[in-house]
Amino acid sequence: MTTTVGMLAAAAAAIVGAAAGWLARKQLSAKTASSLENKLEAKIAAAKEKVAQLREEGLREARQKAEEVEKDLDRRRDKLTELEQRVADREDTVAVSLQELSQKTDMLKSREEELSGDKAKLEALKQDEEQKLAEISGLTREQAEARALQLAEERTRENIVRRVRKLEKEGEQQLEEKARNIMAVVIQRYAASHVSESAASYVHVEDEKMIGRVIGREGRNVQHLERLTGCEIVVDDTPNTILVSGFSPIRRQVAKTALEKLLHDGRIHPGRIEEVVEEAKKKINDDVKEAGEAVVYDLGIVDLPEALVQLLGRLKYRTSYRQNILRHTWEAAHIATMLAQELGADVMIAKKATLLHDIGKALDHEVEGDHIEIGEKIMRKFGIDERIIEAAAAHHDDPPYATLEAYIVQVSDAISAARPGARRDTAENYVKRMEDLENIASAYPGVEKAYAIYAGREVRVFVRPQEVDDLKAIQMAQDIAKQIEAELQYPGEVKVNVIRETRANARAR
């Protein structure tokens, strides 16, 4: 019984405890739910406040952007209004100009009609005057022209005689001097064993005793040096100076370089001479190669064959009218580049053609032909473009040319050669001027022979009397003089003397 009561009491206590726990948990859940609900309401309120704030900022930014757009539209409206005003003003100006142009056109037409009428009146007056002159003089128009030509012939003949006498007095001394110059140029061009001043180099010797060592016993050293270099060594003309003479500038430079090294070294004998000459040749070849490479690199040309670049470098030791040819071609190529760019021509063709236009001068005089023919053969040998060859070969011919690049090559060559200080006028220019004078006179029909005399101040033309009469001779002299004025450049004046000589022969038997 007691056990049963205890068990019931324990069960009742457990039930009471469980009920108490349930009530406690229920109270705690209600508090938690209330707390969460309060937090949620706070967050919702904060979110609503944030949304309101964002909505206010968005509306404010939208209003600002709208105001900016409106201001931009106002500015554009102002500009458009200004442009419309300008267009209207321009239209007014154009209208006024058109009106003025129309008025000027009407004035010009009126003036043209007046001039046409005046011209007709002048023609009528001219005919009346000619008729009156014919009636007064008793000569027809043809007879009057013949008489005027006769008077002109008489005056021209007197002028010819007077000037010829004057030139005959002044010309003998100058003619002899020019003849010596011509002979000097011919000898220089022939380039035999003798030399002129322009084909010589000089080596200074500080110690005069070294000259004897250069000569060697019985002249064996200097003779050996001459055989190896192909130049003449002159050691007894000027104190402390050795003259190296030779037609080829490269061989002359080799001899000069070898001599300078021998003098500096002091050991001079045939074996040493051979070593030094070989070193000098190698140095010259290196210099030639470097000169050619420097030029093509500076011009931006990268596709030329190496052998052609080497040949181009040989122009460093060539001169024309005292102008270095390599420097001349480099300068002319730059000029051609700028001209081609301005004229819309092919820049690379013009540049290469100008660079190679004097390549024929790189070879020695033993090769037959002028430098243009030699240059064409060289360029074709290395497979250069025919357009480049054609343009380069035209630099000494007369227009018209086949391409614009050919004109550019000739102009660039002329600019580089004719600029102040580029060249020095020599006897070659004088001979060319004399030849041009004779060629112009010889081209006329009926001319037997023509001579340029008195340093080019007179051209004496001999005609065949059976083909040219006296009047034709006078007319020929005037035509030759006009052609010389139009085609040649010369100092002073050039007298044209046409001579018609008739000879009568008879034999007594």
Task: Quote the CA–CA distance of 170 and 54 in Å, as a whole number.
Answer: 112
Residue 24 forms part of a structural domain: no
Q: What does the pLDDT read at residue 324?
A: 79
Query: Considering Cα of 368, then 369, then 370, then 373, what sign does the dihedral take?
Result: negative
Residue 471 forms part of a structural domain: yes
233 and 209 both lie in a single domain: yes
Task: Quote the CA–CA distance of 325 and 345 in Å, as a whole number.
Answer: 25
330 and 371 both lie in a single domain: yes
Q: Which of 57, 88, 119 is the last residue before a domain boundary?
A: 88
CB-count exposure of residue 203 (10 Å: 0-12, 13-18, 19+) = buried
Buried b (16+ CB within 10 A) or exposed e, 453-481: bbbbbbbbbbbebeebeeebbbebbeebb
182 and 206 both lie in a single domain: no
Task: Quote the CA–CA distance of 311 and 317 in Å, as a whole number.
Answer: 11
Residue 252 forms part of a structural domain: yes
Q: What does the pLDDT read at residue 191?
A: 36
Cα separation of the two ends of the chain? 211
Query: Considering Cα of 298, then 304, then 307, then 313, what sign does the dihedral take?
Result: negative
Residue 80 forms part of a structural domain: yes
Pick from 263, 249, 255: which is nearest to 214 by CA?
263
Q: Which of 368, 386, 418 is the last residue before a domain boundary?
A: 418
243 and 202 both lie in a single domain: yes
Residue 142 forms part of a structural domain: no
404 and 486 both lie in a single domain: no
179 and 223 both lie in a single domain: no
Pick from 441, 457, 425: which is nearest to 499 by CA?
441
Q: Are 389 and 380 in contact (CB under 8 A)?
A: yes
359 and 451 both lie in a single domain: no
Task: Quote the CA–CA distance of 102 and 358 in Å, as a whole number.
Answer: 59
pTM value is 0.43
Q: What does the pLDDT read at residue 364?
A: 59
When divided into structural domains, the chain yields a total of 4
- H or E element: which one contains 233? strand 232-234
Pick from 172, 171, 258, 185: which is nearest to 221 by CA?
258
Task: Quote the CA–CA distance of 332 and 292 in Å, as a whole number.
Answer: 15
Q: Between the CA of residue 331 and those of 20, 251, 406, 407, 475, what are the distances in Å?
A: 117, 26, 17, 17, 45
Q: What does the pLDDT read at residue 495?
A: 86
Task: Quote the CA–CA distance of 27 and 34 in Å, as a whole number.
Answer: 11
Q: Between the CA of residue 278 and those of 186, 248, 259, 317, 328, what are the distances in Å?
A: 33, 17, 12, 18, 30
Task: Quote the CA–CA distance of 392 and 410 in Å, as a whole number.
Answer: 8
Residue 60 forms part of a structural domain: yes
Q: For 140, list phi and psi in degrees, rounded to 5.
A: -80, 175
183 and 216 both lie in a single domain: no
Q: Between the CA of residue 13 and those of 3, 18, 19, what are the distances in Å?
A: 15, 9, 10
Residue 112 forms part of a structural domain: no
Residue 119 forms part of a structural domain: no
Q: For 498, list phi and psi in degrees, rounded to 5.
A: -95, 125
Question: Using H for helix, E for strand and C for coil, what is the string for 136-186?
Answer: HHCCCHHHHHHHHHHHHHHHHHHHHHHHHHHHHHHHHHHHHHHHHHHHHHH
Residues 6+ apart with CB under 8 A from 191: 199, 247, 365
377 and 402 both lie in a single domain: yes
Q: Are 474 and 156 in contact (CB under 8 A)?
A: yes
Q: Which of 399, 418, 437 is the last residue before a domain boundary?
A: 418
213 and 266 both lie in a single domain: yes
**Over its length of 509 residues, how does the chain's per-residue pLDDT go in tens digits?**
555 556 666 666 667 666 666 666 666 566 777 777 788 888 888 888 888 888 888 888 888 888 888 888 888 888 898 888 989 888 888 888 888 888 888 888 888 888 888 888 888 887 777 676 666 666 666 777 777 777 777 667 767 766 766 666 666 656 566 544 543 433 333 333 333 335 567 787 777 777 777 777 777 888 888 878 877 788 766 677 888 877 667 778 888 888 888 888 778 888 888 888 888 888 888 888 888 888 888 888 888 888 888 888 888 877 776 677 888 888 888 888 888 888 888 989 989 888 888 888 877 555 677 778 888 888 888 888 888 888 888 876 655 577 888 888 888 887 777 554 445 555 566 677 788 888 899 999 999 888 887 667 788 899 998 888 888 888 899 999 989 888 887 666 788 999 888 777 777 87
User: Domain range spanning residue 233?
Assistant: 197-287
- H or E element: which one contains 374? helix 371-381
Task: Quote the CA–CA distance of 246 and 253 in Å, as a whole number.
Answer: 9
Q: What does the pLDDT read at residue 400?
A: 59
Q: Are 416 and 463 in contact (CB under 8 A)?
A: no
Q: What does the pLDDT read at residue 126?
A: 77
At 402, which CATH number? Answer: 1.10.3210.10
203 and 173 both lie in a single domain: no
Q: What does the pLDDT read at residue 348?
A: 92
Strands 458-463 and 495-500: parallel
- Kindly state the DSSP code that residue 421 receives in the 8-state scheme: T
315 and 354 both lie in a single domain: yes
Task: Quote the CA–CA distance of 456 and 269 in Å, as a whole number.
Answer: 54
